[in-house]
Amino acid sequence: LLLPLGAFIAAFAIGLVVWLSRRRLSPLRELQIAVRKREFIVHYQPIVELRTGRCIGAEALVRWRRPDGSLVRPDLFIPLAEESGLIAAITDQVVAHVVLDLNRLLVANRSLHIAVNLSPADVETARILPVIEKALQHTGIRPRQIWLEATERGFVNIDSARSTLIRARELGHAVAIDDFGTGYSSLSHLEGLPLDALKIDKSFIDTIATNSATSSVTPHIIDMAKTLKLKIVAEGVETQAQADYLLERDVDYGQGWLFAKPMPAAEFIAYCRRMKPSA
Ligand code: C2E
Ligand code: MG
Ligand code: MG
Ligand code: MG
């Protein structure tokens, strides 16, 4: 009788441990733990000059690497991070990675820049600027090699956003508006902002060389960007037809699967070596 009872108790104990360890934590709790354990890494997607095909840098795109090795896309956790205020700590981890991953590459090649995505809260509080300043200390990276991407969506306080962007440029960074065309970007609203570049949202690039209803909007978006006399980056370029169209319209830079997908730091460094940026 004792033997089966012992086996039963052992099986029960093992079952309990497995159940406890698999019990699902709330998404917020999981994200908090991930932040504490620094589970965020960065992939880099090359940005190329359309006229020459030369790589001018990359966008830093965050990924959450779970303990099982799987990667979670930012769309699935950035909204929760923004709502909960965890985004600030995640942005810090992205900045730390950029410096650690690419210090040598950026010092060896001054023409390269890395664009970091900022959430509206990052832009409104300006807390990130001293964080970047500190991260760049004791590296050879120059402030102008760090671009900051801000979306127009979600600014609660446009005045504090503006003063952060002004300060960022005083420090030497370039500032780009991300997902251009999808927000409330009336020109008047953007004209007051200190900007260097506009990134035209993928949804407009998607319609190029199609006959969809919105394809007629894209040339106007490009013209609008041009009237602001800013550098233009087209995001989500997937086909040669799109690249040809953009080149015809004097769009400066492109980013998309046609050129390269986002990749781990080591691959991006190898990519740059292969491409030998001419400049
Ligand atoms: P985004 O800043 O507009 O970044 C461009 C997104 O388009 C990236 O998605 C990129 O992988 C994807 N993409 C680029 N080229 C192509 C293409 O040719 N075809 C297709 N189908 N997709 C393309 P990803 O990496 O999933 O990032 C999604 C969004 O998450 C970003 O959009 C950005 O808003 C946000 N995000 C990413 N990293 C960060 C970060 O470090 N901080 C913050 N606050 N947001 C981030
Ligand atoms: Mg971006
Ligand atoms: Mg974008
Ligand atoms: Mg976009």
Q: What is the pLDDT along the chain (279 residues), one digit of tens a residue?
A: 777 899 999 999 999 988 877 777 899 999 999 999 999 999 999 999 999 999 999 999 999 999 999 999 999 999 999 999 999 999 999 999 999 999 999 999 999 999 999 999 999 999 999 999 999 999 999 999 999 999 877 677 888 889 999 999 999 999 999 998 887 655 667 777 889 999 999 999 999 988 776 677 888 888 888 888 899 999 999 999 999 999 999 999 999 999 999 999 999 999 999 886 554
Residues 6+ away with beta carbon under 8 Å from 44: 58, 59, 60, 61, 101, 102, 114, 262, 263, 264, 265, 268
**Residue 56 carries which side chain, given as an amino acid letter?**
I
DSSP structural state of residue 25: P
Closest approach atom of ligand 1 to CA 73: 26
Strand partners, 200: 180, 234
Residues less than 5 Å from ion ligand 3, measured at CB: 178-179, 199, 235
For residue 39 and ligand 1, the question of a CB distance below 6 A is answered with no
Q: Considering only CA atoms, which of 275, 273, 249, 245 is closest in space to residue 53?
A: 275
**What is the C-alpha to C-alpha distance for residues 247 and 232, in angstroms, rounded to an integer?**
11
Q: How many CA atoms lie within 13 A of 238 on its CB side?
A: 11
For residue 120 and ligand 1, the question of a CB distance below 6 A is answered with no
**What is the C-alpha to C-alpha distance for residues 231 and 221, in angstroms, rounded to an integer?**
13
For residue 236 and ligand 1, the question of a CB distance below 6 A is answered with yes
* Residue identifier of the C-alpha nearest atom 7 of ligand 1: 236
> Which of 76, 98, 117 has most ligand 1 atoms within 8 Å of CB, for mutation?
117
Rounded distance from Cα 61 to ligand 1 centre (Å): 6
Q: Residue written as tokens 């840098």?
A: 57
Quick one: 46 exposed, middle or buried, by C-beta within 10 A (0-12, 13-18, 19+)?
buried
